[in-house]
Copies of this chain bind each other. A is one copy, B any other.
Amino acid sequence: MVDPTLRQRRKEARPQELLEAALSLFVEKGFAASRSEEVAVRAGVSKGTLYLYYPSKEDLFKAVVRQTLSAEIAEGVRVLEEHQGSVSEALVQDLADWWVRVYESPGSAVFKLAITEMRNFPDLASFYAEEVVLPGCTAIANLVMRGIEAGEFRAVDVNNTVHSIVLPMIMLCLHKHSIGACTTIEQTMQEPHAFIRQHLALVLRGLQSEAALARSAAEVSGASSVSLKLPKIEG
C-alpha cells in the first residue's frame, strides 16, 4: 500500500519536522501561549507522537533554540575568518551576504525567541550567550580590529562598533517575526536586503579613516569597477 521504507523515513524525519513546526508556532504565539497539540498538528502528527520524541514542551523548546541557529552562525563566522581581501570588502559583502542568509532562514526566528523567553529559561540564556552572541560578536570584533590595524578604520571603540553593526540586523529579524508579520500594518521597512547593504555601507563610511575615505573618493570619481557593490550613495 505504502512505500515500505516510508514509515522508517518518516520516523527519522520526525524530530526535524517537529522542530520546524514548533519553531513556527513558538515564534508566532510565544512559548507559553503555544499549545503542544498545535505543534503536533502543524507537524501532521497527533499529540502523543510529539511526546515520543521530546519529553516535554520545555525540552522541545530548548531543542528548537539549540538546533536552529548554530549552523547559520558557524558558517558566517567561517566565511568572515577566511576572507582574504580588504576589511571594507568583508564588511559590505561577506557580512551582508551572511545576514541576508540569516534573515531569510528559519533561524531568524530564534532571535525573537531569545529576546522573548530568555528570562524564563536561564540555561538557554547561557547557551545563547556562548554559542550565538559570543562567536558572532567575536568574529565581527576581529574584523573591526583588522580594519583598524590596517589603517582602513579609525581607532574606534571596538565593542560599541560591533553593536552598531549587528544590532540593526538582529532587529530586522525581530521585526520580520513581530510587526512585520502583522499584515494589517503599513510597512515602513520594504526592502530588508537593501537595508542590510545600505546599513553596512553607512557604518563603513562612518568607520573609514581619512586616508581610506580619500581612496574611496578617488575610486568613485575614477572609473573604478570596484565600488564594492555599494548601493549608490552620493554626497
Contact = CB atoms under 8 A, between A and B. Distances in A.
Contact of A29 (B28, B119, B167, B234): B119
A212 to B, nearest CB: 9
Main secondary structure of the interface of A (DSSP, over half): helix
Given A114-B178, A178-B119, A202-B156, A185 B235 contact: no
Contacts of A225: none
A103 interface: no
B129 A186 contact: yes
Interface string A197-227: 0110011111111100100010000000000
B116 A184 contact: no
Specify how many copies of this chain sit in the oligomer: 4
Contacts of A162: 188
Please classify how large the interface on chain A is, using the bins under 10, 10 to 19, 20 to 34, 35 or more.
35 or more
A99 interface: no
Interface in A23-53: 28-33
Contact of A160 (B117, B129, B170, B199): B199
A164 B116 contact: no
Interface string A84-117: 0000000000000000000000000000101111
